[in-house]
């Protein structure tokens, strides 16, 4: 449990706005009062033109989840008010922050009940593109819309004219705008249930007008529940400058960017010099290429060049000591467990299809099972991730960033990330320094897999 009690929480939320007597208490705090706040709401929104989708959920009372911005190394408080009719929590995906602020029910905090608030407060050590989402009734709440982009601004600006976050995801919406069933069990036991409509910032194929010849930082965040997507950018000069929040050692081409659920790519894009020319963001589906957004040049060219951009500063991630690292084994496979236990407050799908090290996560309960591994603080570890299934699994670890080392199937770049996208039957080794104490959720980010067993946690001792 977090150190935040119900009483602190009331002081943090109602009090700041309320009576002068209590406002006095708030003024004595050494940290800033609530810096930002978000509200969880049911909304109705037109994803499909003139066909509003009722029963959507957002971190806003009207429309898509806001982009949350904060600065590297600066403490931020975010007041989360739950105006849904069910419990929830917020997880800040990719942020290496205090365990108590990580947003995992029971593992790090009590669920935020309907009508209640929780005050998150943390200091992001890394800059980059992150995202946020609930970790309670995750499949349904995310399927209904609760996935937002979180930007941690670099302390030194690399020289872009503009920054454009792109929240990329599908929805399962039918021709009348209504939600379709969020998953089908037979898909859950395979690669997962794909959406029917691809969106960027809750819009179908939006067109952005941007100054001709300007330099734009596109912040792609795949917040989809299921899709491992192949993306490409055509018609402009561009390169990938960061993946999963971390600058890449050298710029990478944009012709095939593969991202699973939860992954991000930052792209430096030069908008064409000629007014009217456009750059297209394409999702390559098995059924053919689909344009999901476009960026159109307007006005006189600013005549900027990609070469003018300063390289991004690396994030302060400790480098593992491979010579002295201990290896921990994880096997991602089928579940031996059968049906799921009934009705945890944060929901389940009724099945347990998947497991880690033969243990299927039963759901979010007040007394979680044992950690999959216990790590000593400050020590280096190699995690050997073995996918014994014929499906892809984006394996995500909270609270710690790891480095990709090697695969038994292919050459992989030595990237820093929070998510290892395992191919079918692939074994990958990744390494980290266990420098952030706490119980860190460790799961597949195909949410149907996460919710049917493919979840656990790793403990870093204090
Ligand atoms: Cu986006 Cu448990 O994670
Ligand atoms: Cu996470
Ligand atoms: Cu999976």
- 139-154 pLDDT tens trace: 999 999 999 999 999 9
- 278 CA to centre of ligand 1 in angstroms: 34
The answer to whether 232 touches 284, Cβ cutoff 8 Å, is yes
Same fold? 6-153, 162-308: yes
- 186 CA to centre of ligand 2 in angstroms: 26
Q: Which of 15-29, 38-52, 333-347 has the lowest mean pLDDT?
A: 15-29
Q: Is the pLDDT of residue 308 over 60?
A: yes
Q: Which ligand is nearest to the CA of 355?
A: 3
Q: Is the pLDDT of residue 7 over 50?
A: no
pLDDT reported for residue 103: 98
Nearest to 237 by CA among 202, 206, 212: 212
pLDDT reported for residue 444: 98
Q: Is the pLDDT of residue 239 over 70?
A: yes
Residue 441 CA, closest ligand 1 atom number? 2
pLDDT digits (tens, 9 = 90+) for 360-397: 998 888 877 899 999 999 999 999 999 999 999 999 99
- Which residues are CB-contacts of 395 (< 8 A; sequence separation ≥ 6)? 330, 332, 385, 419, 420, 421, 422, 442, 443, 444, 445
Q: Whose CA is nearest to atom 1 of ligand 1?
A: 93
pLDDT reported for residue 4: 34
How do 264-270 and 215-222 pair as beta strands?
A: antiparallel
The answer to whether 390 touches 189, Cβ cutoff 8 Å, is no
Q: Is the pLDDT of residue 421 over 80?
A: yes
Give the Cα separation of 214 and 182 in Å (integer).
40
Q: Which CATH class is domain 6-153?
A: mainly beta
- 133 CA to centre of ligand 2 in angstroms: 9
- 422 CA to centre of ligand 3 in angstroms: 9
Q: Determine what percent of the chain is predicted with pLDDT higher than 90.
A: 85
Tell me the pLDDT band of 159, cut-offs 50, 70 and 90: very high
Q: Is the pLDDT of residue 1 over 80?
A: no
Q: Which ligand is nearest to the CA of 394?
A: 3
253 φ/ψ sector (left φ>0, alpha ψ -120 to 50, else beta): beta
The answer to whether 57 touches 146, Cβ cutoff 8 Å, is yes
Average pLDDT, the chain: 92
How do 373-375 and 455-460 pair as beta strands?
A: parallel
Q: Which ligand is nearest to the CA of 391?
A: 3
Domain 322-460 belongs to what topology? Immunoglobulin-like (2.60.40)
Q: Whose CA is nearest to atom 3 of ligand 1?
A: 93
pLDDT reported for residue 34: 55
What residues does each domain of the chain span? 6-153, 162-308, 322-460
Please say whether the structural domain 162-308 has been given the CATH code 2.60.40.420: yes
pLDDT reported for residue 13: 34
Ligand 1 proximal residues by C-beta, below 6 Å: 91, 93, 133, 135, 262, 396, 398, 441, 443, 445
Go through 219-229 and write b for each residue having 16 or more CB atoms within 10 A of its CB, e for each that does not.
Answer: bbbbbbbbbbb
């Amino acid at each position: 449990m977090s150190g935040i009690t119900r009483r602190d929480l009331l002081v943090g939320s109602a009090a700041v706005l309320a009576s002068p007597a209590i406002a006095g208490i708030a003024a004595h705090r050494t940290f800033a009062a609530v810096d930002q706040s978000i509200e969880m709401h049911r909304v109705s929104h037109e994803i499909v033109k003139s066909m509003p989708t009722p029963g959507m959920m957002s971190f806003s009372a009207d429309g898509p989840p806001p982009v949350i911005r904060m600065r590297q190394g600066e403490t931020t408080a975010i007041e989360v008010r739950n105006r849904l009719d069910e419990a929830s929590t917020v997880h800040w995906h990719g942020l290496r922050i205090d365990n108590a602020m990580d947003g995992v029910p029971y593992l790090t905090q009590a669920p935020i009940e309907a009508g209640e608030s929780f005050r998150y407060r943390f200091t992001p050590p890394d800059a980059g593109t992150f995202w946020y989402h609930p970790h309670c009734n995750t499949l349904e709440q995310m399927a209904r819309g609760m996935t937002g982009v979180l930007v941690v601004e670099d302390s030194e600006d690399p020289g872009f004219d503009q920054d454009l976050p792109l929240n990329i995801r599908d929805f399962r919406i039918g021709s009348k705008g209504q939600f379709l069933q969020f998953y089908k069990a037979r898909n859950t036991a395979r690669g997962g249930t794909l959406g029917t409509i691809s969106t960027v910032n809750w819009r179908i194929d939006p067109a952005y007008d941007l100054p001709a010849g300007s330099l734009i930082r596109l912040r792609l965040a795949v917040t989809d529940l299921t899709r491992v997507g192949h993306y490409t950018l055509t018609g402009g000069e561009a390169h990938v400058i960061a993946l999963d929040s971390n600058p890449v050692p050298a710029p990478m081409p944009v012709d095939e960017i593969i991202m699973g659920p939860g992954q991000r790519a930052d792209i430096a894009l030069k908008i064409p010099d000629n007014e009217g020319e456009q750059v297209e963001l394409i999702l390559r589906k098995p059924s053919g290429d689909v344009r999901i957004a476009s960026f159109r040049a307007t006005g006189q060219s600013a005549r900027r060049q990609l070469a003018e951009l300063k390289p991004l500063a690396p994030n302060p991630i400790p480098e593992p000591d491979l010579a002295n690292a201990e290896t921990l084994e994880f096997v991602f496979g089928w579940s031996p467990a059968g049906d799921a236990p009934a009705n945890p407050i944060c929901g389940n799908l009724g099945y347990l299809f998947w497991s880690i090290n033969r243990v299927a996560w039963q759901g979010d309960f007040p007394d979680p099972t044992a950690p999959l591994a216990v790590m000593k603080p400050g020590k280096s570890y190699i995690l050997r991730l073995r996918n014994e299934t014929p499906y892809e699994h984006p394996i995500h670890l909270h609270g710690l960033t790891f480095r990709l080392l090697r695969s038994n199937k292919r050459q992989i770049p030595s990237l820093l990330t929070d998510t290892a996208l395992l191919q079918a039957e692939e074994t990958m080794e990744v390494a980290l320094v266990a420098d952030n104490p706490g119980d860190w959720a460790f799961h597949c980010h195909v949410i149907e897999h996460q919710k049917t067993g493919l979840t656990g946690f790793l403990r870093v001792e204090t």
